Structure 1
Amino acid sequence: MNITFMGTGDSMGTPRVYCDCVVCVEARETGVNRRLRSSLLLEEEGEAPLLLDCGPDWREQMEVAGLRNVKQALLTHAHFDHIGGLPEWADACRWTQAAASIGAPREVVRDVLSRFPWVDRQFRFETSDEGASYGDWRIMSWRVNHGKNGYSYAYRFDHASRGVKWAYCSDAIDLTEEQKAPLAGLDLLVLGTSFVEEPYPMNTRSVYDMKEGLALVKEIKPDSVVFTHLSHDVDLRCDYGLPAHVQIAKTGLKLTI
């Protein structure tokens, strides 16, 4: 499977329109830290590309990827930075008379349709609570704590014949032992870490910071880790002294697993 990081930003993206911090200024001037809202593009031989989340930067991400059509997606939760591109995608489906399939847990589907009740004219929604598949990959989803923002879902991908396992957990904090359990034995973990060290009270927060992410990584021991869902606090020009198996996602990063 090829994994492309189409977006690596938090809910505001970088640069933040109101902000003149050094990271936002650099993002405007040279673009090293420019980040669209978090989304992955998955590609498996013999299968149509699969989006993981569809935020408000969907159109720009599609143009950058050179895609004119996409037929399927999985959604982690119904916050705008993860579903804001659905109306535009649905409209594209209408104009091209193409259908698309959206997979998500039942409560996510319910929340999406409460926000955008017309998109089911173009999308076929499929629930992932009992599992899903992508080619020979078996997919499981499970509910995770999203702090003050309620809930999100993480996804784990297992390839039986290859024995490869990886997971995407973009919006989570303070996971319980039960929620950590599916993260065991991974070849790759993609984890949301919005700040290097977030200076706000835990009850006001919604996503791990990098310091907490490293503690989680030390506990569950994945072979490799990519931090994503980054705020303007994270400067890609800095060396944060991360372990060799941990990296910070850059826009357009491509991995093969």
Structure 2
Amino acid sequence: MRITFLGTGDSMGTPRVYCDCSICMEARTTGVNRRFRSSLWIEEEGQRPLLLDCGPDWLAQMEGNGTKKVSQALITHAHFDHIGGMTEWADACRWTNEKGVAYAPREVLNEIRQRFPWIERHIEMAENDNGMTYGKWRITPWRVNHGKNGYSYAYRFSNEENGVNWVYCSDAINLTERQKAPLADLALLVLGTSFAEEPYPMDTRSVYDMREGLLLSEEWNPQSVVFTHLSHDIDVTHDYRLPENVKLARTGLSMNF
């Protein structure tokens, strides 16, 4: 399996249109910190590629990845920064006359239907509450706290043949002990951390910060950790003195299992 980060930003991306902070200004010039909304491109031998989340930067992400067709996608939750590109995907399916498939738990699919009542003409809604198979991998969703923003779903990918497990958890905070359990025995944890250290009251927040992400990583000890869903607070060129097994996601970063 090969995963590629198409987007690594939070709900507003970087640069913020209204912001002249040093990170946003750098993103407008050299572009190192320019970030689309968080998304992954997953490839497995013998399988059609799988998009993970389909946010409003979908068109630019597909062009940047050299991708002309998306057949299927996993969706973590129905917030706009994770489903805003589904209308463009559906329109592409209409023009190519090739229906796509969106996999997500039932409650997520129902929210998508409410927002886009017409979309099932072009994209099939497939419930995966009980998990699904992708090549040699078992994909299991579980519901996680998303703070003031309600809920999201994380996904655990498990390969029984080689014992490799990895998790994508982009939008979560204050996980309960039960919600943490799928973080055991991981080769990779992809975790959303919007700020280096978020200064706002906990009841106003929705995603871990890097400090909290490191504590979670120390607790569950994955072999590797990648922080994504980064806001304009985080400068990927800055040395945050992260452990050797922890890195910040960048657009185009690819990893193989």
Pairwise same-fold verdict (TM > 0.5): yes
For 2:42, the equivalent position in structure 1 comes to 42
| Partners of 1:127 and 1:250 in 2: CA distance | 30
Residues 200-233 of structure 1, C-alpha deviations (whole Å, 9 max, x = no match) = 0000000000000000000011110000000000
For 1:255, the equivalent position in structure 2 comes to 255
Matched residue type, 2:17? V
For 1:27, the equivalent position in structure 2 comes to 27
TM-score, normalized by length of structure 2?
0.99
For 2:10, the equivalent position in structure 1 comes to 10
| Partners of 1:45 and 1:139 in 2: CA distance | 16
Aligned positions of 1:1-257 closer than 5 A: 1-257=1-257
| Partners of 1:64 and 1:98 in 2: CA distance | 22
RMSD: 0.5
Q: State the shift of 1:125 in Å.
A: 1.0
| Partners of 1:116 and 1:183 in 2: CA distance | 33
TM-score, normalized by length of structure 1?
0.99
User: Tell me, what secondary structure is at the counterpart of 1:168?
Assistant: strand
| Partners of 1:113 and 1:57 in 2: CA distance | 20
| Partners of 2:224 and 2:164 in 1: CA distance | 12
Matched residue type, 2:126? E
| Partners of 1:203 and 1:114 in 2: CA distance | 27
| Partners of 1:53 and 1:242 in 2: CA distance | 27
Q: State the shift of 1:70 in Å.
A: 1.0
| Partners of 1:116 and 1:39 in 2: CA distance | 20
| Partners of 1:206 and 1:174 in 2: CA distance | 9
Residues 148-185 of structure 1, C-alpha deviations (whole Å, 9 max, x = no match) = 00000000000111111000000000000000001111
Matched residue type, 2:246? V
How many residues end up aligned between the 2 structures?
257
User: Tell me, what secondary structure is at the counterpart of 1:87?
Assistant: helix
| Partners of 2:4 and 2:47 in 1: CA distance | 15
Q: State the shift of 1:54 in Å.
A: 0.2
| Partners of 1:23 and 1:182 in 2: CA distance | 34
| Partners of 1:104 and 1:127 in 2: CA distance | 5
Matched residue type, 2:9? G
Identity rate, percent: 67
Q: State the shift of 1:99 in Å.
A: 1.1
User: Tell me, what secondary structure is at the counterpart of 2:143?
Assistant: strand
Q: State the shift of 1:133 in Å.
A: 1.1
Matched residue type, 1:91? D
Q: State the shift of 1:197 in Å.
A: 0.1
Residues 113-141 of structure 1, C-alpha deviations (whole Å, 9 max, x = no match) = 11111111111111111111111100100
| Partners of 2:97 and 2:162 in 1: CA distance | 37
| Partners of 2:164 and 2:184 in 1: CA distance | 12
| Partners of 2:67 and 2:97 in 1: CA distance | 16
User: Tell me, what secondary structure is at the counterpart of 2:102?
Assistant: strand
Q: State the shift of 1:9 in Å.
A: 0.1
Matched residue type, 2:127? T
| Partners of 2:236 and 2:153 in 1: CA distance | 27
Matched residue type, 2:182? P
| Partners of 1:137 and 1:124 in 2: CA distance | 22
